[in-house]
A and B are shown apart, each in its own frame.
Chain A
Amino acid sequence: MASVNQDNIPGATGTAPAKKSQAPAKTADSQSVLKRLQSELMALMMGGDSGISAFPEEDNIFCWKGTINGSKDTVFEGTQYKLSLSFPNDYPFKPPKVKFETLCFHPNVDVRGHICLDILQDKWSSAYDVRTILLSIQSLLGEPNTSSPLNPQAAQLWGNQEDYRKMVEKLYKSPNA
């Protein structure tokens, strides 16, 4: 691994100056976004994370569809949620817009699928990527922030995990159905 990295460096010296001189142009910007998204996709597919997946829509790499499986030992166990990710032109310096496509009964998700998650807003960092976003949302499912809920009913019910589980099962519609 280390040797591969060292090998990469001389190659970079050749390509980097050209890239940097072009970078301020808008076309080069979108190209670097393209490269980043393609790289993320590759890493996501190679990484083999269990419980999350994402793939670009057919003709637009700036729009992805992702899926999250409810974690084990949570009220969301056995459920799968579909999400949409929409990347801005200045991604990753600005966060993507992430929405639940599947109805999700959760204190921090509203009826239309909007997610209240700090890292998708003011706590965003360009070091985050699709993988960390999906993993964060997955962990958010089991650990909601009930103090500032988008769905007050869900926040109220969260204290009763058995009832909450029943509610989740009642409202859940498999995205594959």
Chain B
Amino acid sequence: MVSDSITNVSIPSAPINNNNARDLGKKKRARSAKLKQCKLDVRREQWLSQGAVKNKDCKEEQHAGLQGRRERNNHRSLVMGPRDGENVGSIHHQHQHQHHHDSDLDSNSPSSFTSSVLGSHDSETIFTGSSSSSSSSGGCCSGNITEDDDDGCLDDWEAVADALAADEKPKNQSSEPPREHEPITQLVPPRQIENSKPQCARAMAKAWRPDDAFRPQSLPNLAKQLSLPNSNVKRDGGVPWACNSVVSPPSSCPICYEDLDLTDTSFLPCLCGFRLCLFCHKTILEGDGRCPGCRKPYENDPVEAETTVHGGSLTFRLPRSCSMITRS
């Protein structure tokens, strides 16, 4: 649990460290940070649900105490503005206070923050708020929280938060603007993301549309992914070659056992109805030129066979034209 949360927290800092302030980089960063944040929130909520049970007794005290702290935290978060912006999502996912989210986006004003905290009267909310702000604003309130809950976990949070704060200070300004563009590319607007974690994760995974110009090349292509298992299924389905020959037209060439394409399936070189792929037909014409099905020589000469091959778009008429040739 503890180690998990550490890795999750530390990840958002990595892309930020590696990126210079480029527009594209910023977008990427903001989004990956959001993705990570989403995972992070899941962890945090698990952790909080444990903490909530423990802390039920001292709920009231926390209410009183944290509100005071909150005032201070938010002063801090004003300074750390952009960084806090990343955490807005987390606060939002855990509680469906949409106004809360909006106001946070607009400005990290202490009043809006406090009001939202007041609006939700369970210890979880308060805890979330404080822990997320601790991860964003460094050691400011971590001391207070450490008193509340088990130490090891929070110490780690604190340490990570310190590291994050140190890393990000110079780049905070650059990560702010892309946030405004995000609703455009996001399929699910942030405010519709509910508390449920799987939904949240799925919505985040869709943050990149396949046709998005800024979509990283390294991301797997959804269309490709979809086509892969399908083609595998086709392959597997094509295993019983022996059975295929019974059905007409066959799905694979009876000579080379390769799959017949659309041109091949509409290619009927012999009146006996024996079908084969164009390539095998050509090979046979180079040899004895007899239909494998009836052993009669193919009546249309190779030149005509070639022309029928090239009439790819008129494939439907091919069999008929072939038989007409043989009849005349």
A contact residues vs B (CB 8 Å cutoff): 1-2, 4-17, 19-20, 23, 32, 35-36, 39-40, 42-43, 46-47, 92-93, 123, 125-127
**Interface centre among A1, A8, A40, by most B CB within 10 Å?**
A8
Q: Is B240 an interface residue (CB 8 A)?
A: yes
Asked whether, in the complex, the Cβ of A13 is within 8 Å of the Cβ of B242, the reply is no
A10 touches B234 (CB 8 A): yes
User: Are A127 and B279 also in contact (CB < 8 A) when A9-B262, A13-B262, A93-B287 are?
Assistant: no
Minimum C-beta distance from A34 to chain B (A): 10
A and B contact pairs by CB, cutoff 8 A, 20 listed: A1-B247, A5-B244, A11-B259, A12-B262, A13-B261, A15-B258, A16-B258, A16-B260, A16-B261, A19-B258, A20-B278, A23-B279, A32-B258, A40-B257, A43-B240, A43-B242, A46-B239, A47-B242, A125-B290, A127-B293
Q: Is the CB of B292 within 8 A of A125?
A: yes
CA distance A8 to B256 in the complex (A): 15
Tell me the complex Cα distance, A158–B292, Å: 33
Which residues of the partner chain B approach A93 to less than 8 Å between Cβ atoms?
255, 283-284, 287
Residues of chain A with a CB closer than 8 A to B287's CB: 93
**Are A9 and B259 in contact (CB-based, < 8 A)?**
yes
Residue B327 CB within 8 A of the other chain: no
**8 A-B pairs closest in CB distance:** A12-B259, A127-B292, A11-B234, A8-B251, A39-B257, A5-B251, A16-B261, A43-B242
Q: Is B310 an interface residue (CB 8 A)?
A: no
Instruction: State whether A8 and B252 are in contact (beta carbons under 8 Å apart), knowing that A15-B259, A16-B264 are contacts in the complex.
Output: yes
Chain B stretch 254-294: residues in CB contact (< 8 A) with chain A: 254-262, 264-265, 274, 277-280, 283-284, 287, 290, 292-293
B53 in contact (CB, < 8 A): no
Residue among A39, A46, A123 with most chain B CB within 10 A: A39
Main secondary structure of the interface of A (DSSP, over half): helix
In this complex, which of B237, B265, B287 has the most chain A Cβ atoms within 10 angstroms of its Cβ?
B237
Q: Which among B238, B254, B256, B262 has the highest number of chain A CB atoms within 10 Å? A: B256
Which residue of A14, A17, A47, A125 contacts B295 across the interface (Cβ within 8 Å)?
Answer: A125
User: Is B233 a contact of A5 with CB atoms below 8 Å?
Assistant: no
Number of B interface residues in the complex (CB < 8 A)? 39
Taking A9-B260, A11-B235, A16-B259 as given, write out 5 further A-B residue pairs in contact, using a Cβ cutoff of 8 Å, ordered by the A residue number.
A2-B247, A4-B238, A36-B255, A47-B242, A127-B255
CB of A126 within 8 A of CB of B257, answer no
Answer whether A46 and B262 are a contact pair too, CB < 8 Å, given A20-B278, A123-B295.
Answer: no
Kindly state whether residue B231 has any CB partner on chain A within 8 Å.
Answer: yes
The residue from A4, A35, A92, A127 contacting B237, defined by CB atoms under 8 A apart: A4
B residues less than 8 Å from A10 (CB atoms): 234
Please, how many angstroms separate the alpha-carbon atoms of A123 and B295 in the complex?
8
Question: Is the CB–CB distance between A36 and B292 below 8 Å?
Answer: no
What is the bound-complex CA distance between A17 and B242, given in angstroms?
24
Q: How far does the alpha carbon of A47 sit from the alpha carbon of B240 in the complex, in Å? A: 9
Query: By the criterion CB–CB under 8 Å, are B241 and A39 in contact?
Result: yes
Chain B 194-213, CB within 8 Å of chain A: the 1/0 string? 00000000000000000000
